[in-house]
Structure formats: C-alpha cells, structure tokens
Amino acid sequence: MSDTSSALRIVWIYPDLLSTYGDQGNALILRRRAELRGIRTELVRVLSSDPVPVEGDIYLLGGGEDRPQILAAERLRSDGGLKRAAERGAAVFAVCAGYQIIGESYGDDADNPLPGVGILDVRSGRGETRAVGEIVADVAPELGGGRITGFENHQGRTAVGPSAVPLSRTVTGIGNDGQTEGAYQGQVIGTYLHGPALPRNPHLADLLLRMRVGDLAPLPPSWGEALHQERLAAAL
Ligand code: GLN
C-alpha cells in the first residue's frame, strides 16, 4: 500500500485561468529538485471549478490576462481555501496576475480597485506604460540573496505595504515600480518574474522547498544553473 500522507503536496491553483506563460515549469522544477533529494511529491491541479484544498505544502499561482485574473480572484476569495492554507503556514509562490490577486487589492482594466485574497500586504494599480522585457534583480539578503532573472509583461505597478518586504531590488527592468521587484510576507512570495521563474532561478525553487522541508542537500550544478547564468549574461 502506498503512503501518500508524507508526500510534499504542491498545489497548482487554477491552471485553466492563470497559466498563460509556461507556469507549469514552476511545478515541475519544484518536484524535480525535491525528488532528487529523496523527497516524495504530489502535484495537485486545482481547476477554478474545484475547491482549493487547505492541506497543501506549496501553492503556485501563475500569470493571466485581465479578465481571467478577475475571475480567479473572485473564485479564490469566495472559496477561502488559499487564505486558510496560508494561515496554516503553507508556502505560496505567485507570479504576475497571481501576485497581484493575492495582495490586498489590484486594478481592473479601467484601474478600478478590486479586492484581492489578502495574504500579502501589497496593492496594485495600473501603470502608464506596459512593463515588458527581461528583468534582473537581487533577492533580499534575509532570504539568502542571489541574483534572479525573468521575463516581465504587465501593466500593473505594485506598492509594498508595511507588513510585507520587497522580494528583491531591480538591476534592470521595472518589477513593482522600477526600484523593487516582488514581495514576501512570511512564507508567501509574489513576483513579476514570469512563467517558469523557478527553472530559471533554481535557488528560488530551493528557498520554497526549504520553507516546508527544512535543510536541503546541495545538488550538483545542472542545466538549471547553466540556464540561470546564460539568462543573466544575456540580460545585462
Ligand atoms: N493583467 C495583469 C497586468 O497586466 C497581469 C498580467 C500578467 O499576468 N502578465 O498587470
């Protein structure tokens, strides 16, 4: 009989609404880097028609266009499962539209403020210009530092409130406001780094794993580090 109770549960929220940019890569790399350390994983895909389970370990939310973003926020708010999971200490990694909707509020396509899920103290509104292109940023030292790279494509700009901390400082690109990129609060992380941000930044994947499983054995350098270095060299 297989024992599923101790598997690390990775919950991918609403792939039908929030997965415009290859966001599945984040789930795959988390599983791979956990399993290389002998940690069993389970990937739970939660469609927007389904309830969000509260007993997951790491919750992933991807990017999306304005309308699916609004729908996702409404459903997550009425479901309540993601908020309860975060309150229980689950880790959350949310990208772009996902980042905006786990905040306190975000702007619709006419910049009317709409309520978010409220698990990260950020507020987003629309910027004058669309932020599109490669982004490089330095992660907060309290999170272990390190340079991250990604691709951003968003109209929104985000103000980080007093209960949250910027995830990183931008080297190139816009992120929240041209100065900082993303935010975190406890085990909840939001970022504008798109799609497969974790394959491009394996140390960020390990940061999330460590939040749930503690110390991790180092892994030999992989194509993940090679990709990270290649994108870093291309962006700067
Ligand atoms: N609709 C949001 C914005 O433009 C998020 C877009 C996205 O996820 N790429 O700011």
- pLDDT, averaged across the chain: 94
Residue with the smallest CA separation from ligand 1 atom 5 is 97
In this prediction the ipTM stands at: 0.95
CATH number of 8-235: 3.40.50.880
For the cut 60, the answer to whether the pLDDT of residue 4 exceeds it is no
Looking at per-residue pLDDT, the higher value among 162 and 224 belongs to 162
Please identify, by atom number, the ligand 1 atom nearest to the C-alpha of residue 109.
1
For the cut 80, the answer to whether the pLDDT of residue 179 exceeds it is yes
Q: CB within 6 Å of ligand 1 — which residues? A: 63-64, 66, 69, 96-97, 153-156
Name the DSSP class of 120.
S
The pLDDT score that the predictor gives to residue 5 is 53
Q: List pLDDT tens digits, range 63-96.
A: 999 999 999 999 999 999 999 999 999 999 999 9
